[in-house]
Amino acid sequence: MIALLDTSEDLLVCREQLGCKVEQLLTPLTRFQRQNKRAKFAIDNGAFAGFKPGEFKGLLLREKDAIEHCRFVAVPDVVGSARRTLEVFEHWKYKLGTWPLALVAQDGQEDLDIPWSLIAAIFIGGSTKFKLSNHAGDIIKAARAIGKWVHVGRVNTPGRFEYFEELGADSIDGTGLSQYTHMREDIWKGYNQPNLLTDLAPDAAESSVLSAGTLSTAVIAAEITAASGTAESA
């Protein structure tokens, strides 16, 4: 799974800290320059912080000559509302020319059609409850079956990273991962902390691995419980 970072920090250093492949996420909020002109990247629309059409279009204009390196552009969305997001998608889809489009899935998307033939990627956004729901998981499975890129926003913890990796997401992003070394290193530690499995008898080792495999599910279940009744979105 690839971590897409909206950062001015050296991506090679970030890759070492995370322990996974890293590519750049461009946004109209920071407008960082691409560090590697031949590397793949993606573009977000900045809607969570407040969508600004002029700045979004300006970023696309700036990067128009690199369109062949772009994995996806997140089409403008309405945070928390799948129905309104689909209406905005209809408005923007032809304005974005040949850029590879990503629909941002928001709360309620499970009851609405996804324009699969028009998009290159699905971007799992929405509230915490939606993002971690079976509905979002089913959308990820559908995208994988169709052959679309799967990206998940606001993934900043080892539990979420492992959870979406197991679901088959192709890429993730998170403000924390973009900004803070310790949050990147926490992901690395989740994969590389020393354990005692090699010292256990085969049966005990297998049992321990099975138990460890349920860790991310338990973490996510706790997050869902904590998020119930809140309005947290991304």
Asked whether the beta carbons of 10 and 35 are under 8 A apart, the reply is yes
Residue 43's nearest CA partner among 88, 4, 92 is: 4
pLDDT category of residue 48 using cuts at 50, 70 and 90: confident
Distance CA 197, CA 219 (A): 21
- Domain carrying residue 128: 2-227
**Each residue of 148-190: pLDDT tens digit?**
999 999 999 999 999 999 999 999 999 999 999 999 999 999 8
Residue 171's nearest CA partner among 75, 70, 85, 78 is: 70
- pLDDT at position 228 is 58
Distances from the Cα of 154 to the Cα of 67, 80, 144, 192, 223, angstroms: 25, 14, 20, 22, 13
- pLDDT at position 182 is 96
Residue 232: inside a domain: no
Residue identified by tokens 């309005």 is: 231
pLDDT category of residue 221 using cuts at 50, 70 and 90: low
Q: In the predicted model, is pLDDT for residue 127 greater than 60? A: yes
Q: Other C-beta atoms within 10 Å of 130: how many?
A: 23
Residue 210: inside a domain: yes
Give the global pTM: 0.85
Residue 155's nearest CA partner among 114, 193, 184, 190 is: 184
b/e map 152-172, b = 16+ CB within 10 Å: bbbbbbbbbbbbbbebebbbb
Q: Other C-beta atoms within 10 Å of 42: how many?
A: 26
Torsion, Cα of 155, 176, 229, 134 (10° steps): 0
User: Could you give the number of structural domains in the chain?
Assistant: 1
Residue 234: inside a domain: no
pLDDT category of residue 211 using cuts at 50, 70 and 90: very low
Distances from the Cα of 25 to the Cα of 5, 18, 146, 217, angstroms: 5, 16, 24, 27
Residues of the chain with pLDDT > 70: what percent?
A: 82
Residues of the chain with pLDDT > 90: what percent?
A: 79
CATH number assigned to the domain comprising residue 130: 3.20.20
Residue 119: inside a domain: yes
Residue 69: inside a domain: yes
- pLDDT at position 49 is 83
| Bridge pairing between strands 101-105 and 70-74 | parallel
Asked whether the beta carbons of 188 and 17 are under 8 A apart, the reply is yes
